[in-house]
């Protein structure tokens, strides 16, 4: 009995380990990749054989690319039509087709991987910027800056102003309404920008960027 229990325990442990192995994310990703890769390989083969090669064959006088070869030693046939010596040839046509398939697959994989990497980099950068924005909002001080008519910022998108990293436009007051700004938001005359900043040096950069005199503007606020 103890031996049977040990055997059942080992079998249970084995199957539990196998289950954990199979259900891992990497294994599932690999399995999906193999299935999709197999289907994609068939698509590429059809593309080469049915779409690319026929026009090339037409240009070569209706000769199949896969049949192109350089005969080193011809086939020998006896009087009865039996092959006595097989042909020896370099079948470079089939080699060319395989190269084409390889190049198409390699290019497709490169395009997909590049797209995935760019997307991942974009998402990571966006998450990083959002984290910095939240951190800045928690630690920064607010200041109200009114954009007068004729200011260099009027008619420009916020993204074109090149604001300092540690200074952000948190809100825009326009015609007694508050607007949540985006990079594509266009600054209009008499907009009141609610700017968050960490240090006075950042605020100085903001005023300089907007071609405004900080002391003069702060003096207007106190009047």
The enclosing domain of 196 has a CATH number of 3.30.70.1450
Q: Do residues 13 and 56 share a domain? A: yes
Q: Do residues 112 and 183 share a domain? A: no
Closest CA to 53 of 128, 109, 104: 104
CA distance 169 to 159: 11
Out of 56-70, 160-174, 175-189, give the one with best mean pLDDT: 175-189
DSSP letters, the chain, are -HHHHHHHHHHHHHHHHHHHHHTSHHHHHHHHHHHHHHHHHHHHHHIIIIIIHHHHHHHTTS--GGG--EEEE--EE-TTS-EEE--EEE-HHHHHHHHHHHHHHHHHHHHHHHHHHHHHHHHHHHHHHHHHHHHHHHH-EEEEEE--TT-TTTT-BGGGG---TTEEEEEEEETTEEE---TTPBP-TT-EEEEEESSHHHHHHHHHHTT--HHHHHHHHH-
Q: Do residues 176 and 113 share a domain? A: no
Q: Do residues 111 and 46 share a domain? A: yes
Q: Do residues 214 and 171 share a domain? A: yes
Q: Is residue 89 part of a domain?
A: no
Q: Is residue 129 part of a domain?
A: no
Q: Do residues 6 and 116 share a domain? A: yes
Q: Do residues 105 and 145 share a domain? A: no
Q: Is residue 90 part of a domain?
A: no
Rounded (5°) CA angle 58-64-68 = 120
Rounded (5°) CA angle 176-182-184 = 105
Q: Do residues 153 and 109 share a domain? A: no
Structure confidence at residue 40 as a pLDDT band (50, 70, 90)? confident
Q: Is residue 207 part of a domain?
A: yes
Number of compact structural domains in the chain: 2
Share of the chain above pLDDT 70, in %: 78
Token pair for 112: 């997909």
Q: What are phi and psi of 154, to 5 degrees?
A: -65, 130
For residues 48-62, give the mean pLDDT.
78
Q: Do residues 113 and 146 share a domain? A: no
Q: What is the pLDDT of residues 122-176, one digit of tens each?
A: 888 888 877 776 766 666 778 888 888 888 889 999 888 888 777 778 889 998 8
Q: Is residue 92 part of a domain?
A: no
Work out the burial of residue 114: count CB atoms within 10 Å of its CB; fewer than 13 is exposed, 13-18 middle, 19 or more buried.
Answer: exposed
Q: Is residue 94 part of a domain?
A: no
Q: Is residue 131 part of a domain?
A: no
Range(s) of the domain holding residue 55: 2-64+101-120
- Is the pTM of the predicted complex or chain greater than 0.85? no
Alpha-carbon Rg for the chain, nearest whole angstrom, is 35
Q: Do residues 109 and 18 share a domain? A: yes
Q: Do residues 43 and 152 share a domain? A: no
Token pair for 37: 């890769």
Q: Is residue 105 part of a domain?
A: yes
Q: Do residues 109 and 15 share a domain? A: yes
């Amino acid at each position: 009995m103890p031996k049977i229990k040990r055997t059942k325990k080992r079998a249970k442990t084995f199957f539990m380990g196998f289950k954990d192995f199979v259900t891992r994310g990497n294994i599932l990703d690999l399995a999906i990749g193999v299935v999709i890769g197999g289907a994609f390989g068939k698509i590429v083969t059809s593309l080469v054989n049915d779409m690319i090669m026929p026009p090339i064959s037409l240009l070569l006088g209706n000769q199949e690319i896969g049949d192109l070869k350089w005969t080193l030693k011809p086939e020998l046939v006896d009087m009865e039509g039996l092959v006595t010596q097989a042909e020896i040839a370099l079948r470079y046509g089939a080699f060319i087709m395989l190269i084409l398939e390889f190049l198409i697959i390699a290019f497709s994989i490169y395009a997909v991987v590049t797209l995935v990497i760019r997307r991942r980099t974009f998402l990571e950068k966006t998450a990083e910027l959002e984290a910095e924005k939240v951190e800045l909002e928690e630690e920064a001080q607010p200041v109200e800056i009114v954009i007068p008519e004729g200011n260099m910022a009027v008619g420009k998108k916020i993204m074109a102003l090149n604001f300092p990293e540690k200074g952000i436009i948190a809100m825009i007051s326009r015609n007694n309404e508050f607007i949540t700004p985006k990079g594509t938001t266009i600054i209009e005359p008499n907009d009141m920008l609610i700017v968050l900043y960490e240090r006075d040096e950042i605020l100085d950069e903001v005023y300089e960027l907007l071609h405004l005199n900080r002391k003069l503007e702060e003096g207007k606020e106190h009047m």
